[in-house]
A and B are shown apart, each in its own frame.
Chain A
Amino acid sequence: MLTKRIIPCLDIKDGRTVKGTNFVNLRDAGDPVELGAIYAEQGADELVFLDITATVDNRKTLIDLVRNVARNVNIPFTVGGGISSVQDVSALLNAGADKVSINSSAVRRPELIDELALQFGSQCIIVAIDTRHIDSPSGGWGAVHTHGGRKPTELKTIEWAKEVENRGAGEILLTSMDTDGTKAGFANELTATISGNASIPIIASGGAGTMEHFYDVFTTGKADAGLAASIFHFKEIDIIDLKTYLKDRGISMRL
């Protein structure tokens, strides 16, 4: 049976992990390769490396990092941050990334999704959607945001999710800016709506604080995968404990 996936996300700046960690067995807490390998060893199903600086100067550093991760990690991993062209994707995949994640560049020029899917196959193209709830007199709606969630767009999240699928995205990484950082749980209602509407997998992100939050997003939220950063980095939740808990509650897990 296909399992639900648990995906730790590592934020990268200048080739180093940004958020601090409490891993006692880490020689170098800032080394993304070592941290990634430990997550893989603990049973993470995939990894996401998000380059939060994403400037031209840092591209070479990022490529070197991707190469080192690919050499040392034997599970799939995705790289995101500042990717805006076929050339960017080509360089990352050639270095050993299994998938790439695009966000602002797809909003700016949606045809990029078609081009990437045609060139590399849908299986390696994740479109990340940052969404924030907008109140309006006629009822609220989710608006797509870019630039790390800072810049609102006119796009409705539900419609944009359908469009990226139609253009050839292989998966959607849906981050709720409303729940992100709150540790109060994923945006289950929105995730369920997007997932119910999509025929491609949805990775839910933003708001994970407890093991139960993952249970909720896989059941109520109908997510195919759950992504989180700080709860894993600060070892608030152990991946093996989380997966055991979910399996005991009837969620299909790789253990």
Chain B
Amino acid sequence: MKYTNDNTILSSPLGVGGLSYDALVIGAGIAGGEAALNLANTGFKVLLVDKELSVGGKMIMLSKVFPTLDCSACITTPKVSEISRHPNITIFTGSEVGEIKKISDHEFTAKVTKHPRYVRVEDCTACQLCEKACPQNVRDQYQFGLIGRKAAFIPFSICSPKAAAIDIDNCTLCGACEKVCPTNCIDFTQEVEVLDLHVKTVVIATGFDMFDAKKLPRYGYGQYKNVITALQMERELAPTRPFNTILRPGDGKVPDKIAYVLCVGSRDASVGNPICSQICCMYSIKQAQLLMGALPMADVTIYYINIRSFGKGFEEFYQQAKGMGVNFVKGKIGRISEKEGGNLLLRYEDINEGKLQEAEHDMVILSTGVLPNTGIDKFFVNETLTLDPFSFVGQSDMLASPAKTSIEGVFVAGTATGPMDIPDSILSAGAASSEAISYLIQQA
């Protein structure tokens, strides 16, 4: 395996004035991973960079996937493992790309900043003794804040590389972790490294961001404890779930009247995002089905504007949810208020009845939308990476060559171009890698 701080970096192909690779793939989620594998399998050397501590992106965090209900971890980990072990792929996690410059045709330089993990990955056995010893408690970003973690921590159980990291911003440098580490792999002397790269082509697979539900105070997220986001519910439903059951965070009660609010931060010009996020209907229907399985007595209601079950097998999956007893109510939620005891009152326009209604639920899940990961265009210093009106990466020939961007030799994969589900991300990554492979072959 080749990771940050791993000595294999030294044996990587050294170009003039730095490391050199055929392709730089930015983002190691499912799209970046697929693109990297396609390039690597056809003989090209790839550097795969991700700012997170693990590869696998958002998919590796999910519970099951629609409409197959495959366990997401089970189908992601082999892919992650294949990426990690591929002789043609070098991975930098905890690293950020900056300043990409086009020198000539088929020649880019890029700077990669590798943030110190303060752990020598190759020596760490993930024994978790440092976790136990660390006195600092912090909210766990990989469980979307549902539970805490330590400042010395393993990101999550199926992360890759499976190694501890020190969250230096929350570390008091007490040294407790260092003392208990049986392999002496904790190293506080690690510093930020900035590497100069030479690459021939770039694939942008920077993924998406989720809408911050706090920006819609009328839904009470962050204020009412029993209002959570769908991504948090993904964790509650995942096989590596934090509570080992479904519960509402306010008081630990197992909920029995659950509501889904769709289009939170999507199809909503008032929050600056007029487009549809394409995945929320389906992930909500999937979660509803999983909840019906986990809590057979619970009522699950989905409040929607339109159900968009448009993909292969999706409509049937929607009908299946109806058949299982999921309650679909056409109407947008206007406001949520909290009752004494933590239950929530949802006020909405019931389209079928044609009037305003109120409904009480004991837990509310906000199906938040997909937003662009901004800032990618700033990486390019001497060329302009054009964005679309919604700040996703622009497609210069959208119908005929969807992976092409405004810069020749720079291609885009997955949700960096707009909302899409997993198979569409895989197809888009296939297109981006096809373009990149052709670009590399034509240069040779």
Are A and B co-members of a single complex?
no
Interface residues of B (CB under 8 A from A): none
